Amino acid sequence: MDLPKTPSFRLEGKRALVVGASSGIGLACATGLAEAGAHVTLAARRADALSEISGAFAERGWSSGTMPLDITNVSAVQTALSSEEPFDVVLNAAGLARHSKAVDTTTDDYDAVMAINLRGAYFLLQAAARRLIEAGKPGSLITISSQMGYVGGPERAVYCASKHAVEGMTKAMAIEWGGNKIRVNTICPTFVLTDLTRPTFDDPEKRAWVESKIKLGRAGEVEDIMGAAVYLASDASALVTGTAMLIDGGWTAD
């Protein structure tokens, strides 16, 4: 009797670019992809941190390289990716949050958040897809979005706007590039304990609000995101595109 065979979650032979790899969710995802066998190019603004991480990967027998990169510099991103062989996997974890009441939002805060979360994300995916299309190769493009791409929250109008836009962008790109066998998806975590969310968790009232909304009763940790990254990068998700993996502890269930 023939039985179906589970598709492989392994990533040997794949080249992955992880942007925002110097800390937090980006570092966790880069670790997961490297552990699964991919050659991971670590990209972020902090070149010193990338070198340290690459050294730690080497100690574990994992293959990696570094690429100092500022996602807000679109021309630099385009130049960097055009000079590389196309990446089989691109995972963008670069992000920024500047929270305030909507009536107090400044244009500087709005522009800073959008430059990274939306503009930078858009043109990174564009550059990655162009290289794959030129080479006639399939690929998996993954953006770390947020549950806030599906709900709203106090003092988060700009952040929510950026993440709702990322979700729409992802669907449209998935439709356009599906014929090229390029998959485009997002991972949407709830509040994860990182440097980015530390101000929220340091405020007892805000922390209580967060924990009251998460049905599983705890905030996220970076390890909660790693499996989703490996899944979306691998052949196990070969028919998954234009969608989001909500890792929110049940926040959006009601």
Domain boundaries along the sequence of the chain: 15-253
Enter the pTM of the model. Answer: 0.96
Residues pairing with 17 in the sheet: 41, 90
Compute the average pLDDT of residues 211-224. 95
Report, in this order, helix, strand and coil percent for the chain, each rounded to 5: 50, 15, 35
Residues with Cβ within 8 Å of 109's Cβ and at least 6 positions away in sequence, in order, are 98, 100, 158
pLDDT at 196 over 80: no
Q: How far is CA 5 from CA 2, 138, 235, 238, in A?
A: 9, 22, 12, 14
Distance between CA atoms of 122 and 7, rounded to whole angstroms? 30
User: Residue 233: its pLDDT value, please?
Assistant: 98
Q: What is the pLDDT of residues 95-121, one digit of tens each?
A: 999 999 999 999 999 999 999 999 999
Q: Is 106 helix (H, G, I), strand (E, B) or coil?
A: coil
Given 110, 122, 150, 159, the catalytic residue:
159
Helices 121-135, 157-177: axis angle to 10 degrees equals 10
Q: Is residue 239 within 8 Å of 7, Cβ to Cβ? A: no
Residues 6+ apart with CB under 8 A from 175: 242
Mean local confidence (pLDDT), 223-250: 98
pLDDT of residue 200: 84
Backbone angles phi, psi at 192, to 5 degrees: -115, 140
Q: What is the mean pLDDT of residues 177-191?
A: 98
Structure tokens at 199: 């101000």
Whole-number Å distance between alpha carbons of 177 and 241: 10
Among this protein's residues, is 122 annotated catalytic? no
Q: What is the pLDDT of residue 167?
A: 98
* More confident: 113 or 47: 113
Architecture category of domain 15-253 in CATH: 3-Layer(aba) Sandwich (3.40)
